[in-house]
């Protein structure tokens, strides 16, 4: 039993050792300046996959952002393929060149954002409605700028540190 616990802890810590960091992208191009990219109209399409990789839902979305020099107000409208419509309004404040904080009505506390090179990482806990109840899901959300119009988003969703779903989104700026 003791060997099993030691082996489990080694596997657990080994998985954390190679975790990608925003600073890994600091010298890469093109640079993603989130308040510039998300200002104005952006279209998005995405797929939600369960933990085994099966696509469970798809959506298209319209995003409209307004930057006032210190914060971005981002309105999102999601149309899911099962007929559900979701809306969210983010307030994203720029703290300095690389750090951001965000809030939305269904986000628990404050989201933390990090921007380096073409990558933007957003970490937050979202209240997700499931069978009439809101459950807290942790998002590890990455956006990667491809060119001046296209960005790709990958989000890993976890509960108690265990992956429950993944989200892949393609953004195209009008």
DSSP 140-171: EEEEEE-SSSEEEEEEEEEETTEEEEEEEEEE
Domain for residue 6, yes or no?
no
Cα–Cα distance, 144 to 154 (Å, whole number): 8
Mean pLDDT for all residues in the chain: 91
Assigned domain for 1 exists: no
User: Does residue 49 sit within a domain?
Assistant: yes
Is the pLDDT assigned to residue 14 strictly greater than 60? no
pLDDT at 1: 58
pLDDT digits (tens, 9 = 90+) for 121-171: 999 999 998 888 999 999 999 999 999 999 999 999 999 999 999 999 999
Q: Does residue 112 fall inside a structural domain? A: yes
Q: Are 49 and 55 in contact (CB under 8 A)?
A: yes
Range of the domain at 46: 23-173
Query: Based on the structure, what is the number of domains in the chain?
Result: 1
User: Could you tell me if residue 16 is inside a domain?
Assistant: no
Share of the chain above pLDDT 70, in %: 90
Contact 100, 65 (CB under 8 A): no
């Amino acid at each position: 039993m003791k060997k099993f616990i030691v082996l489990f802890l080694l596997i657990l810590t080994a998985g954390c050792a190679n975790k990608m960091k925003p600073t890994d992208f600091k010298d890469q191009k093109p640079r993603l300046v989130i308040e510039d990219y998300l200002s104005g109209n952006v279209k998005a399409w995405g797929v939600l996959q369960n933990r085994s990789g099966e696509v469970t839902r798809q959506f298209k979305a319209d995003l409209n952002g307004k930057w006032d020099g210190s914060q971005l107000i981002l309105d999102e409208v999601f149309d899911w393929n099962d007929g559900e419509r979701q809306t969210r309004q983010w307030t994203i404040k720029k703290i300095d060149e690389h750090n951001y904080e965000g809030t939305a009505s269904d986000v628990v506390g404050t989201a933390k954002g990090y921007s380096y090179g073409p990558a933007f990482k957003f970490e937050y806990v979202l209240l997700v409605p499931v069978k009439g109840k809101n459950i807290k899901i942790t998002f590890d959300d990455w956006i990667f700028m491809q060119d001046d119009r296209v960005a790709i988003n990958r989000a890993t969703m976890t509960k108690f540190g265990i992956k429950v779903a993944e989200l892949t989104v393609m953004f195209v700026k009008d």
